[in-house]
Amino acid sequence: MNAPWKSVSAGARDPFTAYVCDDLTLDVVRTVCDDMGWPQEKAFKGGLRNAIQSLSVSASPQILLVDLSESGDPISDINGLAEVCEPGTVVIAMGQVNDVRLYRDLMMSGLQDYLLKPVNPDALRDAVTHAQMILNAPKHDEGAKEHPHLSTAIIGTRGGVGASTIATSISWLLSERMGHLTGLLDLDVHFGTGALALDLEPGRGLTDAIDNPSRIDGLFIERAMIKANDKLSILSAEAAIGNPIMTDGSAFFQLQEEFRAAFENTIIDLPRSMLISYPHLLHDVNVAVVVCELTLASARDAIRLLAWLKSNAPSCHTIVVANKVQAGGVEISRKDFESSIERKVDLLIPFDPKATAQAAKLGRPLVDSVRSSKVAGGIVTLTDMIKSSATPEETIEEGAKSASTSKKSMMTGFKALLVKK
Ligand SMILES: Nc1ncnc2c1ncn2[C@@H]1O[C@H](COP(=O)(O)OP(=O)(O)OP(=O)(O)O)[C@@H](O)[C@H]1O
Ligand SMILES: [Mg+2]
């Protein structure tokens, strides 16, 4: 399969073999074989089972296409295929099930792509061309060390609390000051400000990725992302307001996978609304920074977000930050806010409109343009907290423990706050 790269003599292998379940798909595959200059006879009728039988007694092709339509348990069948398939083969699957969890599990099993049936010739041609590119790409150095990866999501409890300001500044610190390869994934598809804050054009990278999840790979990331400095790349969009996001979320999963391979840090600017449509976005995130303001509405939504994180991402280490804090000018005191959300606010960042105005004028991240300000100091501290946050293994236990605390009691705390007001 395509996961481990080993040197295999490509010359002894067929370039392409397909096992499909129905005549309609067979016709499409044969058409694409013609286009690619491959013999039509290498497209067989018969699904995954036949593929496993044949490959157990013959050499594996360079690209293998298998139809999962007749498979009752695709994941276990794909694992069965992996046992007979030689390393280095790029496997593409097709099937009728449109389910992001299946897609995710198949990708984890080492598949290169999953095409939804009925498959059209263009989609299949794209997928096999892409597979060819992977085969021709320079092979990974097996001796190279895996770099550790830290994925952090920045989520605002309310609009405008400063989540994007913080996400851009953290990305800048990690890359420019600490020298870590960093990718900023701005998932505010229509209104994102990650690129704007750095005086860059957002490009179409993110919308292209959403429209064509099967194209997402290392090469795509390299081309679609814009460079803010030597170590920082941004993937964002400024999608037209009339264009709703049309995806089952597989593109986001695939992007996170590729970011993990390409960078040491992934920073995700994650609008809270995205969690409703794509809860799996948090599955592999190590740290969630929940940005709040000390207001009643923010307290209510912090409670709900923290409870959601506990049940949906128990392995994620959570940091609560109160931003735009004004001495004597807050709607709720820190103490009341903390008793309402039943946990400490880990960090307070002051309200400093002068600093943010200066950063906006210069088109530079806040931590770079107004280094000596308290707000920049707060973000530096936050970045240190993220870097030194517990390892994922530790947080799984912590998260699981805290997940058992009742959400009900948090809402009771919030109601007490309302009475107080
Ligand atoms: N500590 C601060 N002091 C003063 N202004 C701030 C502070 N942090 C952020 N701002 C300002 O608040 C505004 C909103 O910030 P930002 O866009 O980062 O918020 P957001 O939570 O990402 O908003 P959205 O909900 O639109 O995504 C910006 O003008 C920003 O400069
Ligand atoms: Mg934002």
pLDDT at 151: 96
pLDDT at 410: 58
Residue 385 has pLDDT above 60, yes or no: yes
Residue 196 lies in a domain: yes
- Stretch 145-151: mean pLDDT: 75
Claim to verify: residue 96 and residue 170 sit in the same structural domain = no
Claim to verify: residue 171 and residue 110 sit in the same structural domain = no
- Its sign, for the CA torsion 121, 125, 126, 128, is positive
Residue 141 lies in a domain: no
Claim to verify: residue 308 and residue 260 sit in the same structural domain = yes
Measured in degrees and rounded to the nearest 5, phi and psi for residue 253 equal -65, -45
Out of 92, 112, 136, pick the residue that ends a domain: 136
Claim to verify: residue 77 and residue 162 sit in the same structural domain = no
Look up residue 247 and give its two tokens.
């995806």
pLDDT at 148: 81
Pocket residue to mutate for ligand 1, from 187, 326, 356, 382, most atoms within 8 A of Cβ: 356
Residue 364's pLDDT band (boundaries 50, 70, 90)? confident
- Stretch 341-358: mean pLDDT: 94
Report the CATH number that the domain containing residue 338 is assigned in CATH: 3.40.50.300
| DSSP per-residue string spanning 20-46 | ESSHHHHHHHHHHHHHHT--GGGEEES
- Fill in the amino acid letter for 21: C
Nearest-angstrom CA–CA distance, 289 and 161 = 12
Per-residue pLDDT tens over the stretch 86-129: 877 889 999 998 887 787 778 777 788 889 999 999 989 988 88
pLDDT at 87: 76
Residue 334 has pLDDT above 90, yes or no: yes
Out of 136, 169, 187, pick the residue that ends a domain: 136
The pLDDT mean for the chain works out to 85
Claim to verify: residue 129 and residue 211 sit in the same structural domain = no
Claim to verify: residue 328 and residue 194 sit in the same structural domain = yes
Residue 406 has pLDDT above 60, yes or no: no
pLDDT at 233: 94
Per-residue pLDDT tens over the stretch 125-134: 988 888 887 7
Q: Which ligand 1 atom is at minimum distance from the Cα of 192?
A: 27
Separation of 269 CA from ligand 2 center, angstroms? 7
Residue 201 has pLDDT above 70, yes or no: yes
Claim to verify: residue 362 and residue 246 sit in the same structural domain = yes
pLDDT at 171: 96
Look up residue 319 and give its two tokens.
């940091």
Residue 162 has pLDDT above 70, yes or no: yes
Residue 228 lies in a domain: yes
- Stretch 7-30: mean pLDDT: 81
- Stretch 28-32: mean pLDDT: 94
Claim to verify: residue 164 and residue 45 sit in the same structural domain = no
Residue 218's pLDDT band (boundaries 50, 70, 90)? confident
Residue 386 has pLDDT above 90, yes or no: yes
pLDDT at 57: 86
Residue 1 lies in a domain: no
Residue 338 has pLDDT above 90, yes or no: yes
Report the CATH number that the domain containing residue 60 is assigned in CATH: 3.40.50.2300
Residue 17 has pLDDT above 50, yes or no: yes
Out of 107, 136, 165, pick the residue that ends a domain: 136
Residue 188's pLDDT band (boundaries 50, 70, 90)? very high
Q: Which of 65-79, 94-108, 251-265, 332-346 has the lowest mean pLDDT?
A: 94-108
* Of 80 and 329, the one with more pLDDT: 80
Pocket of ligand 1 (CB under 6 A): 156, 159-165, 188, 193, 271, 323-324, 349, 351-353, 356, 375
Separation of 333 CA from ligand 2 center, angstroms? 25
Claim to verify: residue 115 and residue 156 sit in the same structural domain = no
Residue 144 has pLDDT above 70, yes or no: no
Residue nearest to atom 8 of ligand 1 (CA): 162
DSSP-derived secondary structure letter, 279: G
Q: Which domain holds residue 122?
A: 10-136
Nearest-angstrom CA–CA distance, 346 and 291 = 10
Count: domains in the chain: 2
Q: Which of 313, 256, 261, 254 is nearest to 282 (CA)?
A: 313
Nearest-angstrom CA–CA distance, 349 and 326 = 9
Nearest-angstrom CA–CA distance, 36 and 34 = 5
Claim to verify: residue 84 and residue 156 sit in the same structural domain = no
Claim to verify: residue 132 and residue 155 sit in the same structural domain = no
Claim to verify: residue 288 and residue 364 sit in the same structural domain = yes
**Shortest-distance ligand to the CA of residue 323:** 1
Q: Which of 166-170, 207-211, 266-270 has the lowest mean pLDDT?
A: 207-211
